Amino acid sequence: MPVIAPMPAARHTRIPSQREGADDTMTMTAGTTVDHLTETYRAHYRSLLGLAALLLDDTASCEDVVQEAFIRVHSARSRVRDPEKTLAYLRQTVVNLSRSALRRRILGLKLLSKPMPDMASAEEGAYDQLERDALIKAMRGLQRRQREVLVLRYFADMTEAQVAETLGISLGSVKAYGSRGIAALRVAMEATA
């Protein structure tokens, strides 16, 4: 049975048993102790929380990240060779976990189904279709020139000068046909309503 000598509180040394292979007898695992890690965590909890708060947006996530950092460093404390670097390991773990949390959030936002655009209900769509049908019927009842002027002016979004040039009529004729056509449309649409 090997004799275990007391070690300084800052280091934890594992003495291999005789059952382990001869090659393993030369390896010694050192790391920070649980007590040192816990003391460091308690002493710097607020600063670690502040670090997480700089990277994340809500307090609950910050607390989760800091606690998860403690758990991860605790489980890997044998890798912390120098106990003076325990705080650095905790800080780096907080930063890495904060980055991961942000990546998960961004990915979650990308994967969320995109909201449906504001669409009219089926009932509104039916009313719109009825109004369109009534307008088309009323447009067909207009004189040919009135219909041409209104279609070019309001549906093709041309100016009065462009309509006059397109139809080969004067600007005054465009205005006259337009006003008479609108008046006739009003009468026809009111009759259907």
Print pLDDT tens along the chain (193 aa).
333 333 344 444 444 444 444 443 333 346 678 888 899 989 999 999 988 888 887 888 899 999 999 999 988 888 888 888 889 899 999 999 999 998 888 888 777 766 666 766 777 778 888 888 888 888 889 999 999 999 999 888 899 999 999 899 999 999 999 999 999 999 988 887 6
The residue with tokens 């991860």 is: 72
Is residue 5 classed exposed, middle or buried when 0-12, 13-18 and 19+ CB atoms within 10 A define those classes?
exposed
What is the structure's pLDDT at 116? 64
The pTM assigned to this predicted structure is 0.44
In whole angstroms, what is the distance from residue 27 CA to residue 184 CA?
100
Sign of CA dihedral 102, 103, 104, 105: positive
What is the structure's pLDDT at 1? 37
Which structure tokens are listed for 163? 């309509």
- In 3D space, the residue among 180, 188, 174, 190 whose CA is nearest the CA of residue 141 turns out to be 188
